[in-house]
Structure 1
Amino acid sequence: MNIRGKFVTLRAIEKEDLELMREMLNDPEMESSVVGWSFPVSKYQQNQWYENHINDSNNQRFIIETPEDGAVGLATLIEIDWKNRKANHGMKLVNRKYRTKGIGTDTVMAIMRYAFDELQLNRLDGSWFDSNIASQKLYTKCGWSVEGRRRQYIYKNGEYRDLIVVGILKEDYIRLVKENRYWD
């Protein structure tokens, strides 16, 4: 099943997508702006990751596609806690040229609709570096609330960086959709 936004499609990762994902992982600009990995990933490692995670229902990852450009990024619902009805969400776009075109907004709205309406989750969590202004603007626009700051939480590129912690509840999403009529 594909997840559809107004113009993006979120689909399952296929073997053909592994090179795109590896390029994203190995992109120094992207690596410096995201929490997580800090080491090169080989084709072998990427293939091993795929084989180990393809059937993991607690960690769902999707390729973001647009009709014009094809695959433009990756969206995630990971660490899904079925008992407490919550998950962590993240997103990476392959290139800065895809920012400010509505792709991020449509992706976040589609992920929330899937998480809250299909999976019946009650809460989504996320985080980013305090210097990531693009994420701050995007997720605020999509109804997410800043819930805290983890000071000097990540050591990256020779310095400690603060992590902004955010979240959204299903009731916040429902209110947002009613107010902005996003899906009309």
Structure 2
Amino acid sequence: MHESTNTGLATLAGGCFWCLEAAYEQLDGVLSVRPGYMGGYDPAPTYEKVCTGETGHAEVIQIEFDPTKIDFETLLTVFFTIHDPTTLNRQGHDVGTQYRSAIFWHDDAQREQAKAMIAQLNAEQVWGAMIVTEVTPAATFHVAEAYHHQYFRNNPYQGYCMAVVAPKAMKVRTNFAALLKPELSLS
């Protein structure tokens, strides 16, 4: 999948990619969500290497979306709702640079929207601490191994999924009910 004139591309890092994938795949206008790695220097990252924290990569999701149904700003609003952007290199018990909060922008408009939203959230003191989310140019996207794709959907009763992923997916359903795909809508 690649960006075309009819679709947008967003790449986000906010802790474990299983959580982000489960959250974003529920949103109407999101065409695909692929877990992977970005922002490091190893030319062939694997999950095992990235988990050491020594490759420089973050666990990311790459979202292909229909901008006529959902825009980048809305994707960012969801992003800043479902993870803690104030913890450096950590989300809950997941610790390391691979779990950092980052927005890998694909064009100047995304960069400016990300910086403006961070400035607004900091000014409003939404989190009670300063946001540490990186805003950096998109680099090579390395698709994660096949078993990571739709991990939550395929492993809903796995311990981490029940304790960490499910609450984030539910947070999207609760806070963004109007944005859910029609088949997920509660109304």
Higher relative contact order (Cα pairs below 8 Å, separated by 6+ residues) = 2
TM-score normalised to the size of structure 1?
A: 0.35
Q: What is the TM-score of this pair, normalised by structure 2?
A: 0.34
